[in-house]
A and B are shown apart, each in its own frame.
Chain A
């Protein structure tokens, strides 16, 4: 799956395509049932999603808005997972990145492009710094990164909230929903692509990240090492790869991208850092990376689908009686259907109900 060149369609690729199609069909059927339960016609609700996501330029703009964080957090996850690092801390790293971007965005005024770049870099560095903690714990104390990154998410969310309180000079009594840094300067705002929507130039940053990561894996020695470390740690170590260094760099890169994701959210959509702003964007990234089987371009495709579903589900809720959470449920089911090992299940079923149509003709083609 890592190769995108389809010189000839081999059975593996065919099977993968079949898998995604099957997942899509199954999810559509389940969605229809769920929508029917809520007293709505499935066709109406589904067309509302499509219309709401792609029906007009306004809709497309908002789909782009949701696609951006999906791509970036998805890439943060891909970088980690591909090398066997279970970074579940994308959400936390994203918060730190967003906070850094929010602060740099309002504290100084710079020429437009420079301001954006400094905000993004600051966001990346903060995300990176926050991922240093689990990296060190893993490296020197052999603490499983799944646990540390997971726990550090909560710390990040609350810590950035505390920082925001300090920045605001507010007291502890403020409603957490209103906690936010001052708005960023216009010079730090990412340009809007389609007027009246939130679709912004962050999409180019996201695309650049996809391409850079793809190029790193395909054309650099470091990328080769990263992949080998993920697939067989001992082999890489014996082969002379500096595993400890590689491990840390994976954490840092993943954290950097997660930070950028948070930064782009602030600069492109919110215009300020709001505490608890992320609606599980980091977790979406992890799901997307899994569905995309850690393929950078797969992340791009799945993110667009996710963007469509996110944007479309809101539209669906507006025009029909269907609850928007139905879509979240469907997304989760999609992940499940794609990650199922069908070959194994097929094998088990065959064993159990064994069809006796073994063709033993004695001929070799």
Chain B
């Protein structure tokens, strides 16, 4: 490590948002040809730091050196010109365009400066794919591709822009164990070709596995620059949150009650009329957590949409406490005491342009609170919002703050809090801990188990296998629109379930989508 070139140096970088110090004199050195992980809780300042490095934010103080030279990025293009590329947590791709179009967007090679030279561009992109071992279909339309491939598209995109330093923001959040292994292999290959990777993640196991260096952030400050060989997971977690964190949920003794949700022979089509759920049967009992694991795009989305009345099924029936709700609206669901934590946090879960209190009472205002159906009881709204903020540790200056000012993890805590604190009998939960920190994951997990212990039926649909395994009393795997029973709590191993998620066939690391 002594002789390796310092490809990126962060010296005393600070960034302030209003009264919040997001980054406070951060110091960090990234060496060429390494995987440098940055870990920390939500709001620790990881994303802010990365956005500064990628030229999206300007630092309020400090210095950034790329390959020994001090740089002042005015915009992401400047950073890109210096060889820094970022793969965001939410992919920045145009759904309706092909992979090729997406990759070349903004950096088209042209003929005589006017016409796009697709041939030449394609050749260049293909060369990159070959060089770095990416097997992606250039002519496929982005929306038809699975998440793991899209991630590779994003990586190819930054490579095409000449990136030497690639920042990956929470890249494993959406992947299966096999997909993660595939990603890590790709990252190792990139490093062997002299690229440098900066990895932001919450998952300590992954950090230990792939990192050459680790920087830990807490409350906007660096609490540790360590080598993986010097620490273990518990010590890292300690640096992150300042306390010991156990990543095992503590199961509570409880009784399983009556059947609450029963799904029979459900068939659901997506918007294009393609069958995504193909005759699915499912039951959830009071006090039971049923976890549905599966590779993204196996029909989870359509199943949940049908269950919550967003997309009526074409066949089959859904009953709730013996009552047919196959064609009930979302409002009916709310009124009957069914809560929903959607995966699409900012689209369906929250309204960015509204204040926190306005977000918190959504749903509550229909089904649970407000005796007066005409006037909005601001006091009650404030009380309920206060409860959500307090019980779920939502970091915000006030209830009047707009949701767009909150970090992703805090938005999720707010959504989960809102749904959990309403007195629902059934909760449909999709990816409740995607992209949030360990402290919050542990907290939300515990809340889910507590809810179940109180007799609430919970249907947990998650792309995080570990989450499904830790929380569920019964695990089902969804594959190609159908469920497969995958044992009770701790009955099968991660590998066994992972195999079921792939349709029980041999593990395929590139995850070609099976329609």
Contact = CB atoms under 8 A, between A and B. Distances in A.
Q: How large is the interface on A (under 10, 10 to 19, 20 to 34, 35 or more residues)?
A: 20 to 34
Contacts of B366: 239-241
B245 interface: no
Given A356-B72, A364-B61, 8 more contacts: A220-B376, A221-B373, A227-B354, A235-B351, A239-B330, A240-B362, A351-B77, A364-B16
A177 interface: no
Contact of B25 (A224, A228, A364): A364
A232 B330 contact: no
Interface in A211-245: 219-225, 227-228, 231-232, 234-242
Contact of B376 (A219, A231, A238, A360): A219
B72 A238 contact: no
A231 B16 contact: no
Quick one: which of A227, A237, A239, A241 has the most chain B CB within 10 A? A239
A343 interface: no
Given A350-B74, A362-B12, A241 B358 contact: no
Contacts of B358: 224, 227-228
A203 to B, nearest CB: 28
Quick one: which of A240, A350, A358, A362 has the most chain B CB within 10 A? A240
Contacts of B350: 232, 235
B342 interface: yes
Nearest to B59: A360
Interface in A328-365: 350-351, 354, 356, 358, 360-365
Contact of A238 (B14, B308, B361, B378): B308
Q: How large is the interface on B (under 10, 10 to 19, 20 to 34, 35 or more residues)?
A: 35 or more
B489 interface: no
B347 A234 contact: yes
A227 B77 CA distance: 37
B329 A238 contact: no
A351 B349 CA distance: 35
7 contacts: A222-B374, A225-B365, A228-B354, A228-B358, A238-B310, A240-B333, A364-B24
B138 interface: no
A354 B330 contact: no
Quick one: which of A225, A236, A356, A360 has the most chain B CB within 10 A? A360
A8 to B, nearest CB: 12
B8 to A, nearest CB: 16
B72 A232 contact: no
A227 B361 CA distance: 13
Contacts of A364: 14, 16, 21, 24-25, 60-61
Contacts of A237: 310, 330, 348
B348 A220 contact: no
Interface string A188-227: 0000000000000000000000000000000111111101
Interface in B126-147: none
Contacts of A224: 358, 361, 365, 376
B103 to A, nearest CB: 23
Contacts, number: 107
B490 to A, nearest CB: 33
B349 A240 contact: no
Nearest to A218: B376
Nearest to B381: A224
Contact of B347 (A225, A235, A239, A356): A235
A259 to B, nearest CB: 24
A220 B25 contact: no
Q: Which 6 A-B pairs have the closest CB atoms?
A: A240-B334, A239-B362, A240-B366, A232-B351, A240-B331, A362-B61
A19 to B, nearest CB: 18
Contacts of A242: 329, 331
Given A240-B335, A354-B74, A365-B16, A228 B376 contact: no
A231 B16 CA distance: 29
A67 to B, nearest CB: 30
Contacts of A360: 59, 61-63, 72
B61 A232 contact: no
A360 B21 CA distance: 16
A88 to B, nearest CB: 23
Contact of A221 (B12, B310, B351, B365): B365
Interface in B299-328: 308, 310
Contact of A219 (B60, B335, B375): B375
Interface string A238-270: 111110000000000000000000000000000
A362 B25 CA distance: 8
B454 to A, nearest CB: 22
B63 A362 contact: yes
Interface in B356-371: 358, 361-363, 365-367, 370
A351 B75 CA distance: 7
A220 B374 contact: yes
A354 B81 CA distance: 16
B284 to A, nearest CB: 19
Contacts of A223: 376
A221 B12 CA distance: 49
A235 B354 CA distance: 11
Quick one: which of B62, B329, B351 has the most chain A CB within 10 A? B351
B95 interface: no
A12 B349 CA distance: 26
B74 A236 contact: no
B61 A228 contact: no
A231 B351 contact: yes
B395 interface: no
Contacts of B347: 232, 234-235
B269 to A, nearest CB: 18
A219 B340 CA distance: 27
Contacts of A363: 14, 61
